[in-house]
């Protein structure tokens, strides 16, 4: 036999005592507090100056094969933090995608441009002997070869690997060829067919990208400040 449920009766209050009202439930999400104009200005200024300076500097250091991995990782982390800073400056999403594109190019271009400049200004033509050859295939099926080398005169050779002219397959192992070598070992050896004129243009491309990044941060801050004054 089922019990008949009885509703719990509220205890009556004493005369003259008002029953406290329940606080109204909050509906919907609370809007984020807008960023102060001072924070917007400071963040935009730091982004415009420090982001390209730090990323380009790290990727220039990455031109040395001994520093490539750690410098690239740190540069990517700096880019991620900078993109977060852009979203602080301009909360709407339009600024993110140009920032991602410019940031990726800032990470990708400086290393090749720096290596080309060093090879063009400091490299010496050096006779080397190919010691091994290794093939790698990319997603499109294109095969590229990398060769290990040693100097023909027996002198030590930093970063004893190269790609390019004189490295076409296992048939080159044991042959003597000529490569471009930086005496101080800042950059790896390069084949004599390296297009230094084209890669040298990367310096101007990096400068242009840095300027575009700075303009992006400053324009985003200006629009945010203009909208805040209208409210």
Domains of the chain: which residue ranges? 37-120+199-230, 129-181
Contact partners, residue 87, CB within 8 Å, separation at least 6: 95, 96
Tokens of 63: 């031109």
Q: For the chain, how big is the Rg over CA atoms in Å?
A: 31
Residue 192 to residue 230: CA distance in whole angstroms: 61
Residue that is written with structure tokens 């409210």 in the block:
231
In the prediction, which pLDDT does 9 show? 61
Which tens digit of pLDDT belongs to each residue from 76-85? 999 999 999 9
User: pLDDT band for position 143 (50/70/90)?
Assistant: confident
Q: What letter would DSSP give residue 66?
A: T
Which tens digit of pLDDT belongs to each residue from 16-48? 556 666 655 654 444 456 778 889 899 999 999
CB neighbour burial string for 189-204, b if at least 16 within 10 angstroms, e if fewer: bbbeebeeeebbebee
Which tens digit of pLDDT belongs to each residue from 3-12? 555 555 656 6
Q: Which of 160, 163, 162, 129 is nearest to 143 (CA)?
A: 163
**Diameter of the chain measured on Cα atoms:** 109
In the prediction, which pLDDT does 22 show? 63
Alpha helices (H) along 9-125: 37-61, 68-89, 96-122
Supply angle C-alpha 181, 67, 184, rounded to 5: 30
Which tens digit of pLDDT belongs to each residue from 61-102? 999 999 999 999 999 999 999 999 999 998 876 888 999 999
Distance of CA 21 to the CA centre of its chain: 55
Q: Which of 70, 139, 59 is nearest to 103 (CA)?
A: 59
Residue 208 to residue 214: CA distance in whole angstroms: 10
Q: Which of 58, 37, 89 is nearest to 213 (CA)?
A: 89
Long-range Cβ pairs for the range 222-225 (8 Å, 24+): 223/90, 224/35, 224/40, 224/89, 224/90, 224/91, 225/37, 225/40, 225/41
Residue 68 to residue 195: CA distance in whole angstroms: 22
């Amino acid at each position: 036999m089922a019990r008949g449920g009885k509703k719990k009766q509220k205890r009556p209050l004493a005369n003259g005592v008002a029953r406290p009202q329940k606080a109204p439930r909050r509906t919907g999400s609370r809007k984020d507090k807008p960023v102060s104009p001072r924070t917007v200005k400071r963040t935009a200024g730091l982004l415009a100056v420090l982001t390209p300076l730090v990323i380009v500097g790290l990727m220039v250091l990455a031109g040395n094969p001994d520093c490539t991995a750690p410098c690239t990782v740190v540069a990517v982390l700096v880019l991620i933090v900078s993109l977060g800073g852009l979203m602080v400056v301009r909360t709407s999403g339009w600024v993110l995608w140009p920032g991602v594109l410019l940031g990726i190019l800032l990470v990708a271009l400086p290393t090749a441009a720096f290596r080309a400049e060093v090879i063009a200004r400091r490299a010496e033509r050096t006779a080397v002997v190919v010691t091994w050859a290794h093939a790698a295939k990319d997603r499109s099926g294109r095969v590229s070869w990398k060769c290990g080398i040693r100097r023909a005169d027996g002198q030590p050779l930093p970063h004893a690997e190269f790609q390019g002219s004189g490295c076409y397959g296992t048939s080159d192992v044991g042959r003597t060829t000529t490569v471009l070598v930086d005496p101080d070992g800042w950059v790896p050896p390069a084949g004599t067919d390296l297009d230094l004129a084209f890669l040298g243009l990367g310096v101007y491309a990096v400068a242009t990208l840095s300027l575009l990044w700075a303009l992006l941060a400053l324009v985003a801050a200006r629009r945010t400040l203009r909208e805040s004054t209208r409210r």
